[in-house]
Amino acid sequence: MSLSSLPLSYCTNVHPGLTVAQVERGLTDFTVPAGQRFGSSLAAGLWLAQPVIRELLAEVDGSKRFAARVAKLGLYTYTLNAFPFGDFHSERVKENVYLPDWTQPSRLEYSWDCARVLADLIRATLPAGADGSLSTVPLGFKTLATAADFETKCIHNLIEFAQRLARLESESGQTIRLAIEPEPCCVLETTAETIAFFRRLRDRAAVVGGLDAVQRHLGVCYDVCHQSVEFEDVAESIASLAREEIRINKVHITCALQVTSPGSNPAVREALAHFVEPRYLHQTFARSPSGEVRRVLDLTTQLARTPPSEFANADCWRIHFHVPVDAERVGPLETTRADLKIALDAVTKLAYAPHLEVETYTWNVLPGGDKPDLVTGLARELSATRDLLAR
């Protein structure tokens, strides 16, 4: 069994936070009460946007004082979500969440600043020896990553980052690992693409130096619903990463929406149409009876109500819309929770313990008036995840 002995985490990117004060308000108003209802120790997987990180590092010992306040709340922090750089709660996020990409120095420096802040948080909230992780963008978004040297620049910056993390460990004893998060329609989206990239990354590091740092400090964040939306076999996906010795530094415990036999279920498609919203990207994939997979970049009302023939004739749709992980169904819609169970079972076969984090960031855009208040919803997700892990 390789389940982590660390407290279960949930990601605070569900709460707005572009200042330190806003982040702390989210912790006191939602995280602490959710932990009390959960009834077990809870880790806050903090999302600290670039303006927050900048504010923390602008004042002497600002990061250490913030870490002390988190500890005083009775919370633990061993992981940061360093994926959204800016305002994750603006009116329209969509493909902007992938900017800046890993070709940009600003992505490298933001990630480095996150690592420095995380080191303080770990020291303040956890026993000595606990490792840290940072989840990050899957290099970039495919339709935006058009430069001929895109991958070359990403590899250069990632090797530099791995070497910085190695120096941090050497100087402070604090191990922090980067977790690159494959996602539908991104430069890294499938497991096969991820494996191929890590081979090229390691080959380059072997030439220019830094291979040991890359192997120790760079891995993936395995967001379960992302690979489900791709119609991957999640157990084989996890096993293939293990065979390649690509470390899963973090698991995002997530579920997506699913529609079976969409062509013959207009009422279900109508329910799906209510999930169309302007803030986040909801990549939608359709699998034909022959196994061919088609995709569109975003869920639209027209797609749900009057799908083209290749979607209407599919046997299943899966939609990148994070839904509560305790739900087998959301109204008449199915979820990919079956894959979550399979993935967590596969994780227990690993020789190490990835960080485990519930990441349903969409509570504020979920349709319907019958959803629970946020604290209740978070507590339900955490409790259901604890039950799955106890299996």
Give the fold, CATH level 3, of 9-254+335-390: TIM Barrel (3.20.20)
Averages of pLDDT over runs of 10 residues in the chain (391 residues) are: 79 98 98 97 98 97 98 98 98 98 98 98 96 98 97 98 98 97 98 98 98 98 98 98 98 98 97 98 98 98 97 98 98 97 96 97 93 97 96 81
Question: Given this model, what pLDDT does residue 391 score?
Answer: 81
Secondary structure string (H, E, C) spanning the chain: CCCCCCCCEEEHHHCCCCCHHHHHHHHHHHHHHHHHHHCCCCEEEEECCHHHHHHHHHCCCHHHHHHHHHHHCCCECCEEECCCCCCCCCCCCHHHHHCCCCCCHHHHHHHHHHHHHHHHHHHHHCCCCCCEEEEECCCCECCCCCCCCHHHHHHHHHHHHHHHHHHHHHHHCCCEEEEECCCCCECCCCHHHHHHHHHHHHHHHHHHCCHHHHHHHEEEEEEHHHHHHCCCCHHHHHHHHHHCCCCEEEEEECEEEEEECHHHCHHHHHHHHCCCCCCCCCCEEEECCCCCEEEECCCCHHHHHCCCHHHHCCCEEEEEEEECCCCCEECCEEECHHHHHHHHHHHCCCCCCCEEEECCCCHHHCCCCCCCCHHHHHHHHHHHHHHHHHC
**CB 362, CB 255: distance < 8 Å:** no
Question: Given this model, what pLDDT does residue 340 score?
Answer: 98
Q: Which residue has the tokens 């090229």?
A: 200
Domain ranges of the chain: 9-254+335-390
The CA distance from 368 to 299, in Å, is 17
Question: Given this model, what pLDDT does residue 368 score?
Answer: 86
